Structure 1
Amino acid sequence: MDHSATSPAPAEQAQTALRRLRREAGAGGYESPADLYRTLGLLSLLADDLSELLPDLCGQLEDALLAGRVRHHSDDPQEACDAVASAAHSISVARFTALLVGQEIQKAQTAIRDLAAA
């Protein structure tokens, strides 16, 4: 199985890109509402992509547990199952939150649409 799409490197690149975007926005990086509109559109897509990625990561964790590649520090199999279940729940909440974030960004984008067209 190819794990390159879920290795830390792409996540680190995304983090670096978001930090750069934050610095540029803080430094007045948007010359027009149209720039902001486009950026919000891309951030909305990013939130949607995140919401699609999280269940895959959860599935990989559950598969690793079932294959015996996940152990708890106490060496108790039930503790490992409980930890994976807790992580899966949190990932589900994060997925839902990412969906909401994407929707709210879309609303913001819609609100500035007329400003960007001017």
Structure 2
Amino acid sequence: MDHPATSPAPAEQAQHALRQLRREAGAGGYESPADLYRTFGSLSLLADDLSELLPDLCGQLEEALLAGRVRHLSADAQEACDAVASAAHSISVARFTALLVGQEIQKAQAAIRELSAV
């Protein structure tokens, strides 16, 4: 693929934020269920945002293929189409999984709400 119009920086920032969150959680960073409740709320929104982003990224990949900006190492057009189709399928599965993750996080958040007044 040619050079992307946008940088991967936002994804790298999200990765950094999640790693920081993991470190803080491992260090006992939550003093109350209310803190956990808010964190799970943010994670639920993150999962929802991810599920909305993935189809856009898939669309960009497919558009790049149609515009001739995607090349396969074998230089075979069918191989490039197959690779994009495989990626699109995986992205679709990932989107569905992100939707499920968001729903389960919402359930966890609801259960935490029951632990204390938030």
TM-score (norm 1): 0.94
Question: What residue is the counterpart of 1:83 in the other structure?
Answer: 83
Q: Is the Cα contact below 8 Å between 1:34 and 1:116 reproduced in 2?
A: yes
Are 2:27 and 1:27 aligned? yes
Q: Is the Cα contact below 8 Å between 1:37 and 1:116 reproduced in 2?
A: no
Question: What residue is the counterpart of 1:107 in the other structure?
Answer: 107
Q: CA deviation at 1:112?
A: 0.8
Question: What residue is the counterpart of 2:67 in the other structure?
Answer: 67
Given residue 92 of structure 1, which amino acid in structure 2 is its aligned partner? Answer: S
TM alignment of 1:35-46, pairs within 5 A: 35-46=35-46
Following TM superposition, where does structure 1 have runs of at least 4 consecutive aligned residues deviating by more than 3 angstroms? none
Q: CA deviation at 1:72?
A: 0.3
Residues 88-117 of structure 1, C-alpha deviations (whole Å, 9 max, x = no match): 000000000000000000000001102231
Q: CA deviation at 1:33?
A: 0.2
TM-score (norm 2): 0.94
Are 2:49 and 1:56 aligned? no
* Larger relative helix fraction: 1
Q: Distance in 1 between matches of 2:52 and 2:116?
A: 29
Are 2:10 and 1:10 aligned? yes
Given residue 97 of structure 1, which amino acid in structure 2 is its aligned partner? Answer: T
Q: Is the Cα contact below 8 Å between 1:37 and 1:112 reproduced in 2?
A: yes
> Across the two proteins, how many residue pairs are aligned to each other?
115
User: What are the ranges of 5 or more consecutive residues in structure 2 without an aligned counterpart?
Assistant: none
User: What are the ranges of 5 or more consecutive residues in structure 1 without an aligned counterpart?
Assistant: none
Instruction: Name the Cα RMSD after superposition.
Output: 1.3
Q: Is the Cα contact below 8 Å between 1:34 and 1:115 reproduced in 2?
A: no
